[in-house]
Structure 1
Amino acid sequence: MATGWAGDNAVQDQIDATVEDAIKRARSQLPQGPGLTHCEECGASIPEARRKAMPGVRLCVSCQEALDREQGAAAGYNRRGSKDSQLR
């Protein structure tokens, strides 16, 4: 049963698209290439254990935590829920 302008599976399609966007964003943020021995933000030494655990690591733990906090604050916005995105 279709209601209004939305298709029968519109809600599920929107959920699926949101999950796919989150997966793409997470994969794009994975470290790539050779890891660094020193943090590119503060210059602190990156321990050997961290470099082995996360190949391609570029930040020390404290700088990575700060970056995660900054990005976490902006991650709550759902552009698909805005009126403008529905007008396309």
Structure 2
Amino acid sequence: MASGWANDDAVNDQINSTIEDAVARARGEIPHGESLSECETCGEPIAQARRKAMPGVRLCIRCQQEKDSKKTSQAGYNRRGSKDSQLR
């Protein structure tokens, strides 16, 4: 069935691409490497249990909670466009 300029799997490709972008963004936020013994923001000691549970941790729990509360949701890129733009 003809669907204009897009191939039949275009919507699925867009959805998969959006999911791949979200996964890549989430993986980029995972700490890696050596854990710090002191928080890089406030200088307070980071508990050994936290460093063991989450390798690569750089912030104490309080600073991490503040950072997480300020984080906004990523809206993502609208790859599909509007219906009007597809009809032209």
Same fold (TM over 0.5): yes
Distance 2:2 2:48 in 1: 58
Aligned-residue RMSD, C-alpha:
2.0
The structural deviation recorded for 1:3 is 1.8
Flag structure 2 segments of 5+ consecutive residues without an equivalent.
none
Q: Secondary structure at the match of 2:24?
A: helix
Normalised to the residue count of structure 2, the TM-score between the two structures is 0.78
Write the distance in 1 (CA, Å) between the matches of 2:80 and 2:42. 38
1:69 is matched with: 69
- Aligned mates of 1:39, 1:22 — CA distance in 2: 27
Correspondence for 2:78? 80
- For 1:5-84, what aligned pairs fall within 5 Å after superposition? 5-71=5-71, 73-75=72-74, 77-81=75-79, 83=81
Q: Which of structures 1 and 2 has the bigger CA Rg?
A: 2
Q: State the TM-score, normalized to the length of structure 1.
A: 0.78
In the aligned structure 2, how far is the partner of 1:69 from the partner of 1:51?
21
Letter of the 2:45 partner, please give it.
S
Q: Counterpart of 2:33 in structure 1: which amino acid?
A: G
- Give, in whole Å, the separation in 2 of the partners of 1:70 and 1:6: 39
Unaligned 5+ runs, structure 1: none
- Taking the aligned partners of 2:27 and 2:20, their CA distance within structure 1 comes to 11
Structure-2 separation of matches of 1:50 and 1:70? 21
Deviations 1:27-70 (A, max 9, x none): 11111211011110111211111000001100111211222233
Distance in 2, Cα, partners of 1:28 & 1:10? 27
